[in-house]
Structure 1
């Protein structure tokens, strides 16, 4: 396809594209090694908010990928950068315990806050938790969602993600959440800034046709959908998003990319 000849950099989603939980997608390690060997600039992007930056990098390394921690652009990292512009805000954190470590620099409160930060807390969701956040929001706190994914792929199958809880809080409080991760245009712009490339020179590789591909294309990127992770044919067929390319898995990506990088 003509667009692929323009690619100099690639944004690659993690969960569902390189691995599912602790299971590596067949051929993914070798594919990433080959893409980097050819000289493509890469960043590895994720909405995952269950692991701290250090834990996420440790997991990726243990799974066999040669990826530097600086190459990972996570929604939680973007959330930290977003909050830093407000100086010393008071935060109420709905985050996994491991991720909370990355937010220790901020003051925290359960009763009065400037921001409520919503991420993945697993089975800790309950009516009392939602009602506490509702009171904070109606008391003046601003709602920040690390992401707003509908569902994600686990070893047990698809699992509901935090998007529905964020929507419930928006509806009850009358407040629109600030969404930090994919498909936020700001998230993709931040990743592009790190690559130091214009959007037309960058591809997004993901398993979520709306968040990954749709979000990336809205930011001007080339969208490559893989049929692994949360990909479901019926869901993809029903989406208004039209990927530039659909491939069985990331393992096939090197064969679809030019051997010589444009402009090299």
Structure 2
């Protein structure tokens, strides 16, 4: 085990799905030890933020879902791509064609969607039909200056006991078909992590990101100057520990173990 937890830590960023809880039918369940781990962090005096690419439901619904299984989170602690992309759309006078879940639509209610001049895709789940993807493709091809936003670019995630395709696969399909490069909003983009760091008022070298995605969580955090720690829960695969481009600063069995190491390391 490396000494990642013994250097000064003032802030901790946590992924949600696969770290705090496992999603799936019926709303999901807390991962063993994660409830107590979050309570320890909240009482430790360390700054804590939850950084997720979750876009299948509204932020309000996500908070309610997490709190229903025993967490105590507020929207102010939660960083997801939707508010960030809405801000970008307004600043650039862009009107999106949305390819998202029906449940997520209300989070875009403040954005003008008339006569779309860009496309925003998120983890649309069953809305990623041929018909809907083709509509997004046709709009992009009709524009003189096509703009595609992808809320994250994950390859897959874990839902229940299964691995399922994430938005990145569909982003790549539209990039290939339209000869363009998507603008990614969310992990692993440096700007997404920097927003959370700015909110905490901390520098990157004081913070640790804990996640189950070796590229999106660990690699993204490291690119922003943070330490990245991977848990062996959620979408973790043993081959992640020998990834060709990303080497985690630490690998732990679960969030509980990571938090115990952090708290012990800061008190020694």
The TM-score range, normalised by the shorter chain, is over 0.9
Q: Secondary structure at the match of 2:192?
A: helix
Equivalent of 1:45, from 51, 54, 62?
Answer: 51
Match of 2:206 in 1: 201
The runs of 5 or more residues in structure 2 that have no matched partner are none
C-alpha offsets along residues 111-139 of structure 1, whole Å, 9 cap, x if unaligned?
x4222110122122222222211121122
Within-5 A mapping of 1:139-150: 139-140=142-143, 141-150=146-155
1:261 offset after TM fit, Å? 5.1
Distance in 2, matches of 1:231 and 1:188, equals 21
Equivalent of 1:156, from 156, 161, 175?
Answer: 161
Match of 1:58 in 2: 64
Equivalent of 1:210, from 208, 215, 219?
Answer: 215
Mean CA deviation greater in 171-180 or 134-143: 134-143
Match of 2:224 in 1: 219
RMSD: 1.6
Match of 2:128 in 1: 125
Distance in 2, matches of 1:259 and 1:249, equals 16
1:15 offset after TM fit, Å? 0.3
Within-5 A mapping of 1:246-261: 246-259=251-264
Alpha-carbon contact 1:148-1:162 (below 8 Å) kept: yes
C-alpha offsets along residues 157-196 of structure 1, whole Å, 9 cap, x if unaligned?
1111111111010011111000001001110111111111
C-alpha offsets along residues 73-132 of structure 1, whole Å, 9 cap, x if unaligned?
012222222223124x321011111211010112224xx422211012212222222221
Alpha-carbon contact 2:49-2:78 (below 8 Å) kept: yes
The runs of 5 or more residues in structure 1 that have no matched partner are none
Distance in 2, matches of 1:38 and 1:90, equals 43
Distance in 1, matches of 2:190 and 2:22, equals 25
Alpha-carbon contact 2:148-2:181 (below 8 Å) kept: yes
Match of 1:94 in 2: 99
1:32 aligns with 2:38: yes
Match of 1:6 in 2: 8
1:2 offset after TM fit, Å? 4.3
Within-5 A mapping of 1:170-249: 170-249=175-254
Distance in 1, matches of 2:88 and 2:48, equals 23
**TM-score under structure 2 length normalisation:** 0.92
Distance in 1, matches of 2:31 and 2:185, equals 27
Distance in 2, matches of 1:258 and 1:30, equals 13
